[in-house]
Structure 1
Amino acid sequence: MRQRISLLAACGLAAAGLVTVPAAAAHAAEPVFRLTGTPGLTLPPAPATGSPTPVALNYRLEGPAGVDTFDGEFTLTVDLSRLAGVATVRENPRAAAKKCAPAGNTLVCKQQGLRPGVPAGLDLEVTAGKTTGVGVVTVTGTAAGATVERAVTGIKVGAPDLVMGEMNLKKDPKPGESQSLPLTFRNTGNEPAKGIVLELEASRGLELPERYDNCTYRTTRTSTTAVCTVEGDFDPKASYELAGDSPLHLKAGANALNERFGYGVYPAPVPPKAQAEPDKTGTDQPKTGDAAGKAARRLTARKAAAPAPLAQHGPDANPADNKREAVLTVSNTADFEAEPLTVKGEAGTTAKAVVAIRNNGPAWIAGRGDGTPAAVVDVELPQGLKAVTAPAACHPVNAALYRCATAPSVLESENVEFPFELKIEKAVKDAKGAIRVGAPGPKGEPQRHAFDPVLANNLAAFTANPTSTGPSPSPSGSPSPSASASTSASPSASSSASAGTTANGGKSGGPLASTGSQAGLVGLGAAALVAVGGALFLSARRRKGGAHA
């Protein structure tokens, strides 16, 4: 029988077994050192056969601001009395220096002082015991002439293990083509997930047409993320799929080319009890309930410079299988164009000149994710010119050649500009240089992008002191073939020429005119959205002997 579950907003932070302990009071004259470590650790149950895999549990000893040296000895005591068979803890046998000795239900460890650049603290490892449940590890410290704040870690054995099924998506859609998202997942763990979080992340050229009330959306320059939450129990050994009356689709936009689509499922967080208390400083804090959820979203919206995560996750026995990613290659093109440039001036003067390129689209260009620029630009200076200043993105190959790099993405219809200051050492009439744009080659040189159908405009003339007023002739030669892509620098305003000189950026208006920083910044899913006015639903599929996504 099909079970519908509404994806309702869930807020809060997840930390299994998190325990809040007030800091020890410090004597006024003593420095206070902090022990920092993981507040919550979730372990999968011990396997039926074989040994469980140990998990690292590290604590670091940190001094107060301005104190990075301490000569005294720290005694750090690890209290294991509250683990109750849930897990065992020992000093990591691979630790560089042995510091700990067992003493009853504790480990007593010695840390010899604190030195700049030398890690101080404990390197432990935790192994799941024979029973599931929750335990607590507490680490306290003492030192002559100093106070040490304790650290507490909740240890939980047994958890849901949500596994996202792989969707058989069409990997080579055409621009404008839409396909359904047959989303499925299963819980292979030994505990139910008390609510789940679905996350979908589509790169700029992909659209998520539907909008649901119980999903939150955020669009950046290069992607859109949708996060949908649902309350309820997602039982062990059960599979779940998207209900037929709340579909999801993925559409390739007119600007799509090399795209990525990530999709994942995670247990929803369980807010610790401490979070239900009002914050005494007046800062907004996540609380349970729908009104609090809206407040948390408002708080996130205010952090435009560094947006907070759309959702936190609860403990999962194996986070490695929660997410999958599909790479889509859309049949599309993008046309890089170099803009002609002219510089005039008397010998001894300095001219400001802006080297400009443009992506005429229709596709945006994204990099490989390794920081590779979307394009590189070679600037060959005309005879008699010397660069006085160059942009940070440009470096000299030799005295007459500079090589510039864009950011890892260049949007459709986006200008990228590189402002130079050039000294006219000798006023040579009709001195010829060149501007070439292309994909970074084996040695960084511009080569042909495989997706660029127009090669003629990859090369533009760079002329100094022309004798005619007509269009500058194109320089000889053409970029050599090859391909690759990455992201763009934002367009910047062209600099004006200094007194006694002129710098002509070539075209006035036209396809290479700057459109400002908002050019082509229509976000994913910003057009043709469907206001569903309801919630996204899931169907539960139970099978004997296990579940399959």
Structure 2
Amino acid sequence: MRTVTSRRRRLGAYAFFASAALSATVLGATPASAASDMLWVQSPEAVTLAVTPGSYQELSFGLSHDNGNYRVINGVLTLDLSELAGVAEVSVPDNCFLSESGTTAVCDIWEVGDIGGTYDGPQVTLGLRTVEGAPAGGELSIGHRAQAETNGPGGVLRTGWGSTPVKVESVPSPDLSLTEPAPVGPVAPGTSLPVPVTVTNKGDAAAEGFRLRVWNSYGLDLATNYPGCAWTPPVLDTDDVPGGLLDCTFDTVVEPGATVTLPEPLRLTVASHALFERLDVSIEPLEGTQDQNPEDNFTSTPITAENTADFAVQGDSVTGAAGEKVTATIGFRNLGPAWFANIGSGDPVGTVTLAVPAGTTVVSAPENCRAEGSGTYRCELRHWATPEDRIQFPFELRIDRVIPNAIGAITLHTSARQAQYDPQPHNAYAELVVNAAK
């Protein structure tokens, strides 16, 4: 999300506690028929913004129309945020553009659904965070209007200007906070680790229970479960970093100033394939209650295991006459015993480069391999690799002329972080041989 803080001081701020009801603004109010359609802006009916600095709240807006006989596309929702300037930091989703001053947001809604049909709820969610010095007692508004293209009469639907009333008040609310953990390791595979989870309410209202979510990377096994928790195990056949998720609800009331712990300590076991691991813990109040400062509702603990990950590349040997096309397959393997992942950065764990053998031309290359210069291809790996991974890159080559024993170098390039845990760096090199000498 993009964030802009306006410098102009006017009334406004944060937290939408008041109502989940929604209002709609349209141009005209006649019933829909086969020949009519109207565009609607769905918005919060009323919003109360908490004056406490750092408080955060989200509010949602939607765009819909009421005649499913027509298709409505390329909607543009304009939000006037000028009355929030100076007291609320505004963040918008990727389908919105926030002006440099932070006073206007313009949002694209490519498909506009019809009410009772394809419309499935608001498409735009704004985040508001109160800044220091926000005055209480103001009565403000957020303005909105929209337009969209239609294949119905007129070709364009528009709404008039509507608004959502906003009040700025001192709203008591909880502020749940997690104690920041220290990094762990290096520890041996098989080690059982206790993970203390301490929740403190720094706010001025009680939290009537809380939701706890624990995500552990693939090299950690969660050894604890609690009643009322749902467990999702790691999945390896996706592009996402594999990890387990424990999702729990506790009805423990956390009074202002109080600190609570879990019924029993959370415990992890370091798996045999562990290396660079991470444990993420997040917490939030129940019953739709907004937390004053969500920034301290999340912790991330790095855990390092005593292990190695042996990355290697695979070569190939092909033969053919001049003018023939052949398929050469090079590859990557993680020989383990550990997996490896760039969990935080999302950077590839490495790249495999191929120097094309003399006398040949690449006719087609894998989609994740790109040409660099006239005779080199660079193939990018994903951002994690398990010990079971075997990744192949088939290249179709045309043999332009026969050169006995033409060799193309295959080289694996990894990060310095992985390289220091690779016990056999020599197998990061292989060869593609065309018409090997007999």
TM-score (norm 2): 0.70
* CA 1:427–1:165: 2 relative to 1, 3 Å: same
Contact 2:75 2:146 in 1 (8 A): no
Q: 1:90 corresponds to which residue? A: 83
Give the one of 191, 197, 222 matched to 2:211: 197
User: Which aligned pairs between 1:478-497 and structure 2 lie closer than 5 A?
Assistant: none
> Structure 2 counterpart of 1:238, which letter?
A
- Within the alignment, does 1:380 sit opposite 2:378 as a pair? no
CA contact (8 A) 1:347 1:426 kept: yes
1:232/1:15 CA distance change after superposition, 3 Å: farther
Q: 2:383 aligns with which of 386, 399, 408?
A: 408
Amino acid at match of 1:242: L
SS in 1 for 2:379: strand
Change (3 A) 1:359 1:31: same
Answer yes or no: is 1:453 the counterpart of 2:428: no
Question: Counterpart of 2:19 in structure 1: which amino acid?
Answer: L
Amino acid aligned to 2:339: W
Distance 1:253 1:454 in 2: 22
Query: Contact conserved, 1:31 with 1:146, CA < 8 A, in 2?
Result: no
Shift, 1:168, TM fit: 4.5
**1:343-371: CA deviations, max 9, x gaps?**
11111111122211100111111015333
**For the Cα contact (< 8 Å) 1:19–1:152, is it kept in 2?**
no
CA distance change for structure 1 residues 256 and 432 in 2, over 3 Å: closer, same or farther? same
CA distance in 2, matches of 1:166, 1:136: 38
Tell me by how many angstroms 1:138 deviates: 8.2
Letter in structure 2 aligned against 1:172: P
User: For the residues of structure 1 that align with 2:394 and 2:358, how far apart are their CA atoms?
Assistant: 19
Aligned mate of 1:220, from 235, 241, 254: 235
Change (3 A) 1:424 1:197: same
The percent of aligned pairs where both chains have the same amino acid is 27
The partner residue of 2:251 within 231, 254, 260 is 231
- Residue among 430, 449, 462 paired with 2:432: 462
Query: What whole-Å deviation, never above 9, does each CA across 1:429-473 have from its counterpart, x for those lacking one?
Result: 2212221223058xxxxx9811111123221121111233xxxxx
Q: Which one of 280, 303, 306 corresponds to residue 262 of structure 1?
A: 280
* Pair 1:186–1:254, CA change in 2 (3 A): same
Asked if the contact 1:180–1:249 (Cα under 8 Å) also holds between the matched residues in 2, the reply is yes
Q: Among residues 363, 372, 386, which one is paired with 2:338 in the alignment?
A: 363
Task: Tell me by how many angstroms 1:376 deviates.
Answer: 1.0
1:76-98 alpha-carbon deviations (Å, 9 max, x no partner): 999xxxxxxxxxx9353699699
Contact 1:202–1:262 (CA under 8 A) maintained in structure 2 = yes
The residue that corresponds to 1:346 in the other structure is 321
CA distance in 2, matches of 1:423, 1:97: 54
Matches within 5 A, 1:40-439: 43-46=49-52, 65-66=72-73, 90-92=83-85, 127=134, 129=136, 146-147=158-159, 157-168=171-182, 170-218=184-232, 219-221=234-236, 222-243=242-263, 246-270=264-288, 314-367=289-342, 369-439=344-414
Evaluate the alpha carbon distance shift between residue 26 and residue 320 of structure 1 in structure 2; reply closer, same or farther with a 3 A threshold: farther
- Tell me by how many angstroms 1:413 deviates: 2.0
Alignment match, 1:18? 19
Cα deviation for residue 320 of structure 1 reads: 0.4
Q: Secondary structure at the match of 1:388?
A: strand
C-alpha displacement of 1:340? 2.4
SS at match of 2:372: strand
Once the 2 structures are TM-superposed, how far is the Cα of residue 170 of structure 1 from its aligned partner? Answer: 2.9
Which structure's CA Rg is the greater one? 1
Matches of 1:377 and 1:340, distance apart in 2: 11
- Contact kept, 8 Å, 2:186 with 2:303, in 1: the verdict is yes
Secondary structure at 2:319's aligned position in 1? strand
Please tell me whether the aligned partners of residues 42 and 315 of structure 1 are also in contact (alpha carbons under 8 angstroms). Answer: no
Q: Is the contact made by 1:33 and 1:61 (CA closer than 8 Å) also made in structure 2?
A: no
**Structure 2: stretches of 5+ with no match in the other structure:** 1-14, 66-71, 88-97, 111-125, 148-156, 237-241
CA distance in 1, matches of 2:174, 2:55: 19
> Under a length normalisation based on structure 1, what TM-score does the superposition of the two structures give?
0.57
Kindly indicate whether the alpha-carbon contact (under 8 Å) linking 1:30 and 1:146 is maintained by their aligned counterparts in 2.
no
User: For 2:284, what is the secondary structure of its paired residue?
Assistant: strand
Alignment of 1:22-41 (within 5 A): 23=24, 25-28=29-32, 32-35=38-41
Q: Distance in 2 between matches of 1:123 and 1:241?
A: 30
Q: Closer, same or farther in 2 for the Cα pair 1:53/1:188, shift >3 Å? A: closer
Partner Cα distance (1:435, 1:462) in 2? 7
Look up the equivalent residue of 2:245 and give its one-letter code: T
Higher strand share: 2
The letter for the 2-side match of 1:257 is L
Deviation at 1:69, TM superposition (A): 8.2
* TM-superposed deviation, 1:226: 0.8
SS in 2 for 1:320: helix
User: Shift in Å at residue 166 of structure 1?
Assistant: 2.4
SS at match of 1:198: strand
Partner of 1:311: none
Residue aligned with 2:345, SS? coil
Q: What is the deviation of 1:17?
A: 2.8
Q: Decide whether the 8 Å contact of 1:204 with 1:224 is kept in 2.
A: yes
> Matched residue pairs, number?
366
Residue 195 of structure 2 contacts residue 267 of structure 2 at CA under 8 Å; is this kept in 1?
A: yes
Amino acid of the residue matched to residue 39 of structure 2?
F
Distance 2:399 2:21 in 1: 68
**Shift in alpha-carbon separation, 1:176–1:123, aligned structure 2, 3 A:** closer
